């Protein structure tokens, strides 16, 4: 299915009217694939935290901590993408990043990085580090982190990754 946005890697910034709250969404693509999987999902926050905190420390920033609400939101987004078979922040009519975050009790402001196809959490995090837009999210003024992966067993068992950064 063709996207209405020709460049899926472009940054989407949502600004709420009358508020200084900015929610940043970024996406990236990769061509690495896992071997067949059972269509499940799992949290990868504990594996991602040291990698993200290393780059934050290099910039003199405080470490992020695992945030259960952000992790649940990341699992839900990874599963949504896997079910849809598409790497997209917004899936379906009337989808809202802000409402998804509120629905998972994610402390705001929040940001989301997504990816698809990487065969490990290390490769997913590295793809975000290698992308200036994603790196900016990871170096933002956040305190919490949640990372997850889900596999689309109906479509070549492709992994879909989501990272939620939260206040």
20-67 pLDDT tens trace: 333 444 444 333 334 444 557 889 999 999 999 999 999 999 999 999
pLDDT attached to residue 58: 97
Strand 158-166, strand 144-152: pairing: antiparallel
**Mean per-residue pLDDT, 151-158:** 78
High-pLDDT (> 70) share of the chain, %: 75
DSSP-derived 3-state class of residue 59: coil
No. of helices (H) and no. of strands (E), the chain: 5, 7
Beta carbons of 156 and 141 less than 8 angstroms apart: no
**16: closest CA among 80, 102, 126?**
102
């Amino acid at each position: 299915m063709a996207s209405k946005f020709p460049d899926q890697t472009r940054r989407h910034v949502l600004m709420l009217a009358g508020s200084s709250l900015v929610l940043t969404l970024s996406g990236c693509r990769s061509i690495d694939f896992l071997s067949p999987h059972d269509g499940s999902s799992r949290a990868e926050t504990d594996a991602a935290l040291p990698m993200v905190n290393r780059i934050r420390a290099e910039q003199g920033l405080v470490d992020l901590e695992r945030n259960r609400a952000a992790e649940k939101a990341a699992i839900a987004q990874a599963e949504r993408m896997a079910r849809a078979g598409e790497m997209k922040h917004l899936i379906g009519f009337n989808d809202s990043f802000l409402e998804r975050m509120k629905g998972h009790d994610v402390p705001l402001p929040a940001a989301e990085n997504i990816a698809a196809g990487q065969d490990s959490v290390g490769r997913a995090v590295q793809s975000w580090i290698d992308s200036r837009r994603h790196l900016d999210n990871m170096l933002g003024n956040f305190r919490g982190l949640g990372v997850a992966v889900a596999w689309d067993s109906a479509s070549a068992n492709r992994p879909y990754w989501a990272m939620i950064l939260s206040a």
